Amino acid sequence: MARSKNEKWSVQGKYVLITGATSGIGLAAAKELAARGANLGIVARSEAKANETAAMLKELTGGRAKVDVFLADLTDQRSIRRVASEILARCPRIDVLVNNAGAMFVKRIMTGDGIEQTWAVNHLAPFLLTTLLLKRLKESGEARIITTSSHGHKMAKKGIDFDDLSAKKRFSFPQTMTGGPNFRYGETKLANVLFTSELARRLEGSGVTASCFDPGLVATNFNQDNGLLARMTMAVMKRFSRTPERGAETLVWLADSDEVSGQSGRYYADLKEAVPAAPARSLEDARRLWETSEEQTRNSQS
């Protein structure tokens, strides 16, 4: 249902679907959005963590918030297609889609779909989930799509290497030896910005907007499964990191603020629009990435 001219946008009473909501900034955002009156759908890999999060959100809101749980393995395109079908069957409307789940891997691993794992989780998963739910978002009237990117997109100084999407030639920087960020992670975060740009172009006139943001360096459980060096590095970095609640502020603002109504294809940080790195502003690369992503997800159709 469309808003009246004098009615300001807010998430109160709206349905927000969010991936990666069982920890970190996703969980912090889910708590705040539920407190502001949103109904939530959380997409998670672990059923136990998802149910625990749902119970927590209901308790925090005194049972007012509706919280749906959807299970999916974001490294598996067939799993993403299954969960999208379930979401469409259970959710008559989606007002806000938050593509927040992300990961960093220090080793090059291929998924069952033949996709390098970091690329699969950080880029192709949000691309596929969004495109599968796009019709429902349009049917919901005015809707928002928010994708969590990172300042790390600036590590991919030369842009996306479309000739090496499996990252055979170049996966990591020397920093990876200490468990720090790697080139592949930066490339996927660049993909998030380019995806948002092309998505916004394709959504012009639909009433649905697309945006992405940098949460800053956040103290979360991110990068905890990549060995001792990675955990030690993150422990040091936490001294200089934001809390998950601070990292989630821009996400919540993009979901709830009337101030950004009608704004699409933009990159934000610290509650304001920011300028991404030059490779992230390439409209040609954004279009090429979309076409390439369609090809990489086509084979998983059942």
Three-state DSSP state, 272: strand
- With CA atoms as reference, report the closest residue to 102 among 24, 2, 8, 6: 24
State the CATH number of the domain containing residue 135. 3.40.50.720
Which pair of structure tokens corresponds to residue 31? 């708590």
Per-residue pLDDT of the chain (302 residues; tens, 9 = 90+): 556 667 899 999 999 999 999 999 999 999 999 999 999 999 999 999 999 999 999 999 999 999 999 999 999 999 999 999 999 999 999 999 999 999 988 888 999 999 999 999 999 999 999 999 999 999 998 999 999 999 999 999 999 999 999 998 876 644 444 344 578 899 999 999 999 999 999 999 999 999 999 999 876 555 444 444 445 444 545 555 689 999 999 999 999 999 999 999 999 999 999 999 999 999 999 999 999 999 999 976 75
Domain range spanning residue 19? Answer: 15-295
Q: Would residue 6 count as lying in a domain?
A: no
- Outline where DSSP puts E strands in the chain: 15-19, 39-44, 67-71, 96-99, 143-148, 208-214, 266-269, 272-274
In this structure, is residue 57 part of a structural domain? Answer: yes
CA 249/CA 192 separation, integer angstroms: 19
What is the domain count for the chain?
A: 1
Residue 136: inside a domain, yes or no? yes
- In a domain? residue 236: yes
DSSP code for 123: I
What is the per-residue pLDDT across 264-290, written as a single tens digit (0 to 9) for each?
Answer: 999 999 999 999 999 999 999 999 999
Task: Based on the residue annotation, tell me whether 15 is a catalytic residue of this protein.
Answer: no
Question: What's the whole-number average pLDDT of the chain?
Answer: 90
From 15, 185, 267, 268, the catalytic residue? 185
The values of phi and psi at residue 136, to 5°, are: -65, -40
